[in-house]
Structures are given as C-alpha cells and as structure tokens.
Chain A
Amino acid sequence: MRNRLAKALSNQKADYLEIRLEDYESTHIRFQGKDMEKISSSQEMGGNVRALVKGGWGFITFNRWEDLENKVKQAIEIAALIGNQKSCLAETEPVVEYLQADCGRDFRKIGLKDKSAMMKNYSNIMVSYSSKIQSSIADYTDQYTTVHFANSEGTYIRHERPYLSVHFTAIARDGDDVQMAHESTGSIKGYDSAEQLSSMAQKAARRAVNLLKAKPVQGGEYTVILDPVLAGVFIHEAFGHLSEADFLYEDSRMKSLMQLGKKVSSPELSVVDDGSLPGLLGSSRYDDEGILTRKNYLIKKGILTGRLHSRETAARMGETATGNARALNYHFKPIVRMTNTYIEQGMTSYRDLFNEIKKGIYARHFYGGNTTFEMFTFSAGEGYMIENGRLVEPVRDVTLSGNLFDTLYHIDGIGNDLKIIESGGGCGKNGQSPLPVTFGSPHIRIQNVVVGGSR
C-alpha cells in the first residue's frame, strides 16, 4: 500500500498532496424497551485526495480505490482554479509508522449473540427500574477502522482505530409529562469497556424518574455550581472552540479578541488540550496530517497562552503545529479540532464551593451544548436549587447561557476533584460530527449565569 500511494503522489505538480484511504467494518444494535429494534452490519471503503496549489485547496472524495493517479490530477486541477498566493504549511519531519490498535479484547471476535444479549440485559435493567419508566433506548456501536495516510513529503502512516460506544436513554412518563435522561460511554479500548455498564443503565433510569418530580426552573441570574461533566462541556464548547485557529488566522479582529498574553480569568484557572494522553477517546499518536499530538496549554493561570492548529493555520500565524488537525472520516478534510480538553485541578474542596451561596443552582450532567464564538448555551441533565449553601429541591429544564469572556471572569471557585469524561457522543464542527473527544474538569463555581426558564 505504501508503494502504491507513493507512486500516485510522485511526479505531480502541486505544493502539497496527500491521500487518505480508509476501510471499516461496524456493528450497530438498538433495543427500544425490551425489544430489539435494529441490528445491522456495515462495511465501507473510501478515500480522499487533498491538493494544495498556490494556497488553494482541491479535495476529492470517493468510494472506489481505483485510478488514484487520475484522482490526484483532478484534485490538483481544481486547486489550481483557486490558488493565487504562496502556499503555507508548517514544517514537519516525514514519518513512517505502522500503528497497531492497543485495545484489549477485540470486539470483532465477539459474536452478535453475546453483544445483543448484553444490550438486552441493559434494557431490562432500565425498563424494570420503576413502573414510571415508559420506554428506553439502549444503543451499541462498534467500528474498526484502518486508515492509510500518505503525503508528498514522504510520510506514510497506517493506523488502526477501534471505536465503541454505548448509549442509554431512559424515558419516564407520568400522564402527559415525559422526561428523559441519557448516559453514555465511548472508548478506544475494546470490548471490555462495553461490559459492566449495569449501574450506568440504572443511573439513566433513576435520573429520568427523578426528573418527573422536579419543578421547571425559574429563569433568571444565579450563582451556579457545575459538576465535572457540565464544566467539561462548558470549557469545550464555550472556550475550546474559540481556541481553534482556523476561525482566527485570517480574521484580524478575532485575532485581537484572542490575543495571546491577554488576561481572561482569575489566576486559578488553567485549561489544557492534550491529544497525547494514553488511551483516551480523543487521543492518537498523530493527528490526521501526520503531526505528533501533544499537551497544549490554552489558558495558564488566567492568561491566554496557546491555541490549536493545523499545519496551515500554524504557518499563517507564525506558530508551530499542535497536532490538532482531525478529520471525522474520509468524506472530510482535516480541520482544527480539540482532543482531550480539561480544566486543571484547583485548590478548593468540592463541598466548600457551596458555602456562602444564598440562592443558586447545582447543575449536573448534560443534554447538549452549542456555541457561536463568544456566545454559548448548554443544558443540564439534572439540577438542584441551592439555598444558604444546601441543596433544597430538584429542578429541571436548566439551560445556561452567556458570554464567554464575562463568564470566564465570573469563575470564582475551582474544585480539587478533576474528572475526565469519556462520553459516547462527540464534537461537531462544519458538518463533521460526532468526532470522538473527551472533556473534563473539577467542580467549578460561576457567578451571574443566565438560566432560561419560566417566570
């Protein structure tokens, strides 16, 4: 394969070329309530060619691995229609690597019988938790992908990526009132991570039933404590995306908004993105441009210190590539993405964060989150009112929203209980979703957060 790709890339007229070929096989199982709802098996082969000519990109995707030379030519042709400046890519040493999956038990060797029995068991746990549980969804997906990547600088990487996720949704009902709770996990560590999730299934059911008792939250401005899950979503959505240099590198006004060296929060806050952490969902040795992943500080002690780059954004901003160019699959170009993003450990014990809160909200878990630059919004899966430092009653439909820069300044307490979350969901950007990432944080306290709700 290495020779075949090298041949297709040789003697071509472009500033830079790469080919990515990919094949995968995957299994999907879904139970709804106690019944099998879907089971399927799929295999896919595909690939792409990306060409850079005078600063313009041409990109071709295909399913047939035939006639690669011509596909390369076609990509160069369309790139040439755009190119009108100097091509710019951060320098890197070519590498040749064959990366085996390091994944414990291989899910391809487990039969459908075992997989579906396991999922049936999880479904039964949810449905039999309470008579209030009306239905449930238990989803299992595994996918084993082999990627061949080669570029015109001599890099060749063959990479095997096992991916597995399990999702639980419990749906509780009381008359017209329907409430849901989700739990999920994702992993690159093989089949072992799908087993022993009984307590997770039970947790989903318990939360859904508890939401029936919760009152809708009253809208307004509150002091809020976020659990590690929600704080992790916050730092990923609200801040992490702003650190992705593809939004900034050509936009002088955005650049000044995100000027490195700028003070953005209290000195207690540090934020990291690290794709080199071993075995996590967002991790890999190389990114999808063949750059080694590494630990990148985005905020260090309250000061904006770094951002995430592809080779192009790094070169255009005169910085070094950070190993954050990632592609969901062969249908897409690598773009600047996060990997494992987290708020570093603080000094305060989790209990002490609640002290002195007269009226506030403890928000846990998440339904989802979204952002456009400085504005963010995310929904909690579970919430409690805090009065005089104590939890008083459960509330629901808690959605938090605000301006990132104001909110970073309003973080005034960081716990010492950092937790990294491997959820079964992922991150979405420019139609590339869900990309496996992790996020994490200790408990944090934020002042003056707007919470949507009735009045």
Chain B
Amino acid sequence: MKQIMEKIKQKVPSGELFRVNYKSTPVDYEMNQLKSINIEETEGWALRVIHDGKIGFSSSTSHNQIDGMIEKALEVAQFGQIAQFDFPGQITTGNEQKIKLYDESVKEKSIENMIEKGNEIIKRVLSINSDLRCDTGISKQDGLIQYGNTKGASFHYKNTMLSYSVMVQDTKENDMMMLMESMQWGKAGLSLEPLLERLERKIKWSEKIVGVESSSIPVIFAPKAMLVLMLPFISGLNGRMINKKISPLQDKKGQLLCNPLFSLYSDGTIDYAGASAPYDDEGIAMQRLPLIEKGVLKNYYYDLQSAAEAGEETTGNGMRSGFHSSPSPGVSNLIVTEGKTSFEEMIKDIKEGIIIDQVLGLGQGNVLSGAFSNNVQLGFKIKNGKVAGRIKNVMISGNAFDVLKDIVAVGSEARWVSGQYCFPHLYVKSLSVSTNQ
C-alpha cells in the first residue's frame, strides 16, 4: 500500500487510494439439506483524484494495474465533477480503539462447526412440523479496509461478520406460507434461541388463514417491515437530494415532522454492528448523528462533496457501495429509538387490525414522495386483542411521512434487521388496507 501510494504521489498531486479485501465462507442448506459451501475472496482497489479542480475515479481488482488506474482516473477527471472539497490532511484518531469490529473467533470458526449449527436449525424447524421446507445459510466473513491519500493521511481497520438466515416454507394446494428470519453480528457466540422462538411463534400464528375486509384499520409494523416507512426518510434526508431540491424534507430542519414518540439516528459507532466503522469511506470519523429527534428534523446527512456544496460540515456519511463506486452520502446503522410499549400490549390494545411482518415490493414505487403500496407477504390479523391467524392477498398503502405523524406507540424492544437496522415494533392508528375478500 505504501509503495503504491508513493507511485501515485509521483504522478498525481492530489489523490486517495482505497482498498478492500474480503473473504467470506457461506454454508447453504436447501430443502432441509446441506447443499453447497463457498469460499469467496474479493480484492478491490479504488483511486479518486482531484486534477485541475475536477474529480476522477477508477477502480480495479489488482494492484498490478495501478498504472492503468492512474491513467484512467486522470483521463476521467477531464470530464469530472468540480471538486468542492479536499482530501483530509489527517485522520481523527481514537475511534479505532473505541469501536469494536473484529472477533478472531469468527474468522477461525470451522466449516464443520457451521454445518453443526445448520443441522441444529433444520432439526428444530422440522420438529415443529416435519412437512415444512427449510432453507438456511450460515456465513462468516472477515475483511481488511485500507485508505491512504497524497496528503499523508491513512488508516486501516479489520472487521468480521457472522450471519444466519432461515427461510421456512409451507406449501399446500393453492396456498404458500413463507417466513424469513435472519441474524447478523460481528461477534461470535450470540444465541440463536430468540430467532428460533420467533420462527416457532409465527409458524403457529400462520396455521389458520383468516379474512380481512378492505378498510382503514390499526396496524403494527414488525421490525422487518419497518423499512417500508424508513426508505423515504433514507432518501429524503440524503444531503445530495437536499442540494438538488428534490427532497420533500428540504427546508424542514428544526420542524416537527413526526410524532414526538419517533426518533431516528444514523450511528456508525456501535460495536459489532454491520455498518459500523471507525471512519467512513473517505476518512471521516463515524458518529451518532440524530436525523429525527422526538419528531423534529435535526440533520441531513452528507459526504465531503455534498457537504461542501451545501456549505455544511460532512457528517461522516461518505459511503461506497462496493469498491468500484465512488463515495456518496449513505446512512450507517439506522436506529429507531425504543419506546415504552411492548409488542404484547400493542396487540391487546387492538380490537381489529393487522400485524405486518414481511412485505413484497419494498422500495418499488415513488420512494422519494413517501408513497408506498406493498403486498403483505406475511401478516396476521388481530381480533379483540388476540392474534387470530394469517392474512392473504392483502395490500397496504399510504405515505410514510403521514404515517409517522400517526403513531400510537413505539415498541419497547428494538431488534437488528439485516445487521444494519435496529428497529422496534411501530403501532399506527390507521392504514389503508385493500383486499379482494
């Protein structure tokens, strides 16, 4: 890395080099059987330069191609965006020690041990009902991220990730139930028990199919389904969307936009969480950034370039989606603050309503406007304070910005979804439900 940096310095007055190196080992079960084992190694290099005031970017999978990368980045820079920022002269230290991301025992986990876990999951699911189909995957990953720029600033860090995913399917003549659960964490040793218990409970709730009528009724969003409501915030709070004046949240800083029960953070400093890191992908320290606090819009999120355009400071949200893409504003771990009401209390409170556990068509439609319209892939009906059974062929729709004004309660127990989102249940007064029953 150092030698290559020297080479870059000779040819480019201003540039930064970013390198990732990952190894992941997924073990996959299909239809209750161990089906495949993969070993996946990825190496990637990215060079961003500022030349004659403009940005150039190139990437490659090999350090042998560094000369080609330099040439390409300089060529591209002739047509590039005007740089409003400069690379950081030094990296704020401290975060490397504070935030824990690496667990040697994840890296050292044996394939045999992963197979054992897989067998355990399958056995447990089949013990509920031997006719079920279960697909499961267990995966370990370890990575090394390195950064250096021509001003002499540099950093590197290592991380690990252990993931479990389970899909359970029950097929009957003209009916299919599909249930998904997952767990992802940077540290080994987390108990699978809560995940398995959730599966058991939902399989039981799914046995009976019940009808709902088209109407507007109270709804509980389970943590997994919360992304339906959060995607419009993720795009609307993006500093670049604000700069381009296409966000409906523009000019709303300091305003009460949501129910005061609702708070939302982008937080890259949580030990072992999927999107945590000491620095963002352009060398700025990660932080806990309030986006919405007690219903009030507090901050938009920025990378270096979008912050400079807006005349703001970067919020440490310069993210790369893979090494071949240059940094843009992105959220880190997205956290919705827990409330005071348990899931059970929410159910008890509802005379007639539904629980939305999984949706189809996430992000399809006009996300920016806040509008959503989704098929409920897995949902349950509540009747007189009790779960009555599973619902089918139901659609929900509304506008996320309106729904967040209409909250009755926020769940007292948040759960990690996809390793990057930590959401509680959310109880909403009324939502439009369409069905053909």
A residues with CB within 8 A of B: 29, 32-33, 35-46, 56-64, 74-75, 78-79, 81-82, 112-113, 116, 134-135, 171, 173, 176-180, 216, 219-221, 250-251, 253-254, 256-257, 331, 333, 367-379, 396-397, 399, 401-403, 405, 448, 450-455
Contacts and interface: CB of A to CB of B under 8 A. Distances in A.
B393 A33 contact: no
B171 A251 contact: yes
B80 interface: yes
A377 B375 contact: yes
Given A41-B76, A379-B373, A453-B432, A180 B244 contact: no
B76 A39 contact: yes
A42 B59 contact: yes
A78 B25 CA distance: 11
A44 to B, nearest CB: 5
A38 B326 contact: yes
Contact of A42 (B56, B178, B324, B377): B324
A63 B42 contact: yes
A45 B63 CA distance: 11
B246 A173 contact: yes
A112 B115 CA distance: 50
Contacts of B144: none
Nearest to B249: A176
Given A36-B81, A178-B246, A403-B393, 12 more contacts: A39-B56, A39-B79, A43-B65, A57-B36, A59-B36, A60-B38, A60-B41, A81-B37, A82-B36, A370-B361, A405-B174, A455-B215
Given A40-B59, A401-B375, A61 B365 contact: no
Residue from B33, B171, B368, B432 with most neighbouring chain A CB atoms (10 Å)? B171
A368 B361 contact: yes
8 contacts: A39-B56, A39-B81, A60-B40, A78-B111, A171-B368, A178-B247, A180-B369, A250-B33
Nearest to B178: A372
A377 B360 contact: yes
Given A375-B377, A451-B434, A74 B39 contact: yes
User: From DSSP, what is the main secondary structure of chain A's interface residues?
Assistant: strand
Given A41-B76, A221-B436, A60 B60 contact: no
Given A57-B35, A134-B246, A397 B79 contact: no
B142 to A, nearest CB: 15
A450 B435 contact: yes
A223 B79 CA distance: 50
Interface in B103-138: 111-112, 115, 131, 133
A399 B146 CA distance: 44
Contacts of A46: 61
A178 B396 contact: no
A402 B392 CA distance: 9
Residue from B174, B215, B324, B366 with most neighbouring chain A CB atoms (10 Å)? B366
Nearest to A26: B324
Contacts of A375: 176, 360, 375, 377, 392-393
Contacts of A38: 57, 81, 326
Interface residues of B, number: 79
Interface in B172-215: 172-176, 178, 214-215
A172 B183 CA distance: 39
Nearest to A120: B79
Nearest to A113: B79
A178 B81 contact: no
A250 B33 CA distance: 10
Contacts of A331: 40, 42
Residue from B360, B396, B432 with most neighbouring chain A CB atoms (10 Å)? B360
A135 B244 CA distance: 7
Contact of A59 (B37, B81, B398): B37
B114 to A, nearest CB: 10
A406 to B, nearest CB: 8
A30 B31 CA distance: 43
B395 A370 contact: no
A178 B369 contact: yes
Interface in B57-111: 57-62, 65, 68, 72-73, 75-76, 78-81, 111
Contacts of B73: 41
B412 interface: no
Contacts of A78: 37-39, 111
B365 A368 contact: yes
Given A219-B395, A454-B432, A40 B216 contact: no
Contacts of A403: 174, 392-393
Nearest to B41: A62
B271 interface: no
Given A33-B244, A253-B171, A377-B360, A112 B79 contact: yes
Interface string B34-60: 111111111110000000000011111
Interface string B371-401: 1011101000000000000001101111000
Contacts of A63: 41-44, 61-62
Nearest to A403: B393
A257 B176 CA distance: 10
B248 A176 contact: yes
A45 B39 contact: no
Contacts of A451: 395, 434
A40 B361 contact: no
The 9 closest A-B pairs by CB, nearest first: A368-B364, A452-B395, A219-B434, A399-B373, A377-B375, A452-B373, A253-B171, A57-B36, A40-B57
A370 B246 contact: no
A79 B361 CA distance: 35
Residue from B62, B240, B245, B369 with most neighbouring chain A CB atoms (10 Å)? B369
Residue from B58, B73, B79 with most neighbouring chain A CB atoms (10 Å)? B79
B313 interface: no
A37 B392 CA distance: 44
B115 A36 contact: no
Contacts of B133: 251, 253
